[in-house]
Every structure is written in C-alpha cells, then in structure tokens.
Amino acid sequence: MAKELKNYINGKWVVAENSGYLDVENPSTGETLGKVPLSTEAEAGRAVAAAKAAFKGWRDTPVAERAEYMYKMLAIMKENEEELSRTLTSEMGKSIPDARAEMKRTFQNIEAACSAPMLQQGYKMLGCARNIDGEVINLPIGVFVAISPFNFPAMTPFWFIPFAIVTGNTFILKPSELVPMTADLSAHLIEKIGLPAGVFNLVHGDKVAGNSFIENPDVAGVSFVGKSATCVEIAAKCAAHKKRYQAMGSAKNHLVVMPDYVQMDELIRNMSTSCFGCAGQRCMASSAIVAVGDEMYEKVSTRFVEDAKNFITANPLDPKYANEPLLTGPVITAQAKDFIHKMIETGVKEGATLALDGRGIEVPGCEKGHFIGPTVFTDVKPGMEIHKTEIFGPVVVILKVDTLDEAIKIINEHQYSNACSIYTQNGYYARKFKLEVEPGMVGINVGIPAPVPFLPFGGSKYSMICDIKMQGQEAFRFYTHDRVVIERYWTED
C-alpha cells in the first residue's frame, strides 16, 4: 500500500491532522506513489507555533554558524542527487537529464545561501550629523512560508528554504500536493543536518493549509509560485494581513529570431529544447516564436517542426532514455492534458495552422500516462487565444513580423511578462531588445534565460506581483528587515 506522508513539525515527523489524503500519481504510468495528507488549519497553526517558538534562538545564532548548516545541507543533497532526481521525475514526469539540471540549480541556491556571512551585512554612516552615527542592520523577521508549485519539485522549495533559514528566520514549506514525494525526501535529508527543532518545518496540504498560513498573524511572509490570477489574490491578501510576500505567476515567453541569424542548427535546437523540454511546463519554457521577416519565418517554421519530430515522447524512467535530452514526458495530470487538448482545438478553430499535432501519442506500457507530443502552430496572430493563454504544455505558436519593433510590441502588449529572448549576432539589436522589452528576464541567444541562483530571478508586471525577486542578493533582501539605528553619546558621563 502506498505510503502516507507525514508532516515534519518542530523536529518531529507527525501524522498530519487532515481532512483526507490524496493519491500521488506518477503522471507517466498512473501508478500511485504515495498518499499526501490535506492538513487542517489547526495543523498548519501548530507548525507556525513551532516555528515562532524557534525564532529567537535561531535569530541569535551567529550567521556563520547558521551558514554551517547550509554547507551540510548542500553536502547531503549532493550525496542524494540520484535519488532526488528519480523521485522528482517519478512524480513530475520530466526527463532524468532535466531532473539533474534541476538538481544543479537546487545546489546552487544552497551555495548562494552559503554566502550569508558575506552578504547579510548592513551598512554604517558615520556623522549623519555632528556626533551622530547611523547604521542599517539586516535582521531576520520571523516565520516564513513557501507554497511551491509542481513543475520543479526539488528546486522551487530551495528558492526559499536556504535563504530564509540562513538569514535567521524559521520556515515552513507547503509543497504542491501533486509532487510531495520530493519534498518529503528533501525534508528527510534536511532532518539529518541537525537544525534546532522548529527552524525547518514541512506541512503537506492544499489551499486550505496555504490560506491559513496567509491569515495567520504569526507568519511574517509568504512566497508563492503559481498562476498570475492566484498571485494577485495572494498578494492582496498578504497586504491585507500585513505580510511580506513574493508571488511569481504565469508566463508566455517569446523567442525572437532576427533575419541576420545564421547559426541555424544551434538556433533550432536551442529553441526546441526550451519549448518541449519538461513537456513545456517550465515557467521559463518558451512557447511563442516570433520570426522577423518572411524568409526567416519560412526557415524557422520548417526547421522547427522538423526538429520537434526528433523528440521522443516517453516515460522518463524508462531505462532506455536515462540520458536522453530530447525527451518529452507526460504533463502533470489528466486535467492538464484535457486543457491542452482543448487549447489545441481552439487554435485550430481560430484559424492557426496546426503544423505538428502532438495529440494521440501512445506510449506503450504507459496507457494511463498523460502524454502529449510536441505540437506546433504556425500562422498565429497576436489576438488568438493560443497566443494569449499560458498553455503549460508542449505547444508552440509561431508568429511572423516584419520588424524588431513589431516583435517588441507583441511582447510588451502580452498580459504576461516573465521572460523573452532574441537570437541575433548584432550588438545593436541585442541592446535595443534588452532595453525596450518589459519582461523581467531577457535572453540574448539563450532559449531559457533563467538566471543562475547568484543573480535575481523574476518576471515583471502580471508575471510577478511583488517588488523583491528571488535568488541572489534579492533573496537576502526579502528575508531581512533593514532596521536603521541612530546613535549619539553626548559626554563621557
């Protein structure tokens, strides 16, 4: 029988007070991997209470000592890379090479947090006025919560865990109920590094637990990654509850190809792995290609469709494909598959040309899997639903424009504003593009312009409903308050 996952609260594994268990499904096979409890508000409250109780002692631990735990966390996660990779693949469906790439980013987030003794430093102004000095001290704030999404089961929790903890806060993870096994494994590894009880906690559940954190006055801040509409709701609720928040939302990432580009092999492969890797379920996946000029449009359309056919739609745990980079696994759920099918039908109805249809693919032995193969629409116009909507599947739309200005306009007028890239060898185009587009992450000849964890990560406008990005210096800012101290001593008495 499938294992019932527990919560990790105050240094102990506990059976969750819950409103039921959900089956955790392998999206390739339909097999049940485990059972995840839907924790109640009371259960969530216990985690908050534990984290709150642990705060003062942890805050007062010197930052270099707190960082020691991060070195241990890094070591134990690295030692278990393969098991983590297989676990996340089994419940999420991405390829093993993708899972390993995810683990690398996970490690680098912990590494960035290891820099805390160098980065969690305030500043000091002598002589604000005669005999008066000022200083800014970066202090931890209290209990933080992250509500993480399904598409990077290992990495997204670690956008938060190491930074929150190393800065002196205490922390609760509520992972996506669709991929709780990786979080469970990660928490078991974290358990071994010996953090004081209550510093790190894991609470499984759905929106009930999630919302209860947002409404709990003892929670100082919440991070969320998900749909833009939910981001806005959560942001407004956090503001109303006087909390810090980060809310990273939906995306429609455009790739612009300039007519000067000649490295066609690199170009096409760079684009196709961005579009079809992870079955298009990366928030940094590209899903719209904008070719500038008739000639480039023809060339890109033709070759992109050809290259898409090189992708294998298969169970990523099939030993045959253990090192296969061109693998498109299943999408996360049957509902997701239905939605994508519906969007493909919409595209056809809207008059786009379905140049490659990924529906109806059968993966032998995986009849219950949620597979869709690479799908490409050409002749797409900016007004169409398939261009406006985040499909979150291996579905790509290709648009044609005449000029770079038009391409930029399409990007800036799109409701989502996460990332975009240009392919060009020309320095003028590259500079114009990076300055004039509005998304928060911009690539030049890079299909997935996801910043390494030593740089900030985040979109703009409707794709990021908050002010402070994730990763890098920004993560340190989110998790600390800049207290200003003004000091004077008149005389020696």
Catalytic machinery residues: 283
Site for a second copy in 396-415 (CB under 8 A): 404
**Angular region, 182: left φ>0, alpha ψ -120 to 50, beta rest:** alpha
| Binding of residue 194 to a second copy (CB under 8 A) | no
For residue 135, state whether it binds a second copy (rule: CB under 8 A). Answer: yes
Q: Which residues contact 375 (CB under 8 A, 6 or more apart)?
A: 344, 354, 356, 357, 358, 359, 393, 394, 395, 396
Interacting positions 64-123 with a second copy (CB under 8 A): 64, 67, 71, 74-75, 108, 111-112, 114-115, 117-123
Looking at 237, 269, 359, 409, which residue binds a second copy (CB under 8 A)? 237
94, 102 contact by CB (below 8 A): yes
* Nearer residue to a second copy within complex by CB, 1 or 126: 126
Should residue 462 be labelled a site residue for a second copy when binding is judged by CB under 8 A? yes
401-433 burial by CB neighbour count: b if 16+ within 10 A, else e? beebebbbebbeebebbbbbbbbbeeeebbebb
Looking at beta carbons only, is 284 or 331 nearer to a second copy?
Answer: 284
Instruction: Kindly state whether residue 322 participates in binding a second copy, applying the rule CB under 8 A.
Output: no
Nearer to a second copy, 349 or 481 (CB): 481
Q: How far apart are CA 24 and CA 180, in angstroms?
A: 8
Cβ proximity to a second copy: between 204 and 469 the closer is: 469
- In the complex, least distance from residue 421 CB atom to a second copy, rounded to whole angstroms: 8
> Looking at beta carbons only, is 179 or 422 nearer to a second copy?
422
By CB under 8 A, the residues from 51 to 70 that bind a second copy are 60-64, 67
Whose structure tokens read 């800049």? 482
> Does 238 contact a second copy by CB under 8 A?
yes
Q: Is 162 in the site for a second copy (CB under 8 A)?
A: no
What is the token pair recorded at 319?
């030993």
Output the smallest distance, CB 108 to a second copy, in A: 6
Distance from C-alpha of 66 to C-alpha of 117, rounded to nearest angstrom: 9
> Contact at 8 Å (CB) between 374 and 357?
no
Whether residue 352 contacts residue 375, with contact meaning beta carbons closer than 8 Å, is answered with: no
CB of 375 to a second copy, least distance (A): 27
Query: Of 146, 154, 139, 175, whose CA–CA distance to 484 is shortest?
Result: 139
* Interface size with a second copy, residues (CB under 8 A): 103
Q: What is the DSSP letter of 156?
A: H
- 3-state secondary structure at position 259: coil
Output the smallest distance, CB 74 to a second copy, in A: 7
- Kind of pairing between the strands at 12-14 and 7-9: antiparallel
Residue 1 makes contact with a second copy by CB under 8 A = no
Binding to a second copy in span 256-275, by CB under 8 A: 262-263, 266
By CB under 8 A, residue 465 contacts a second copy: yes
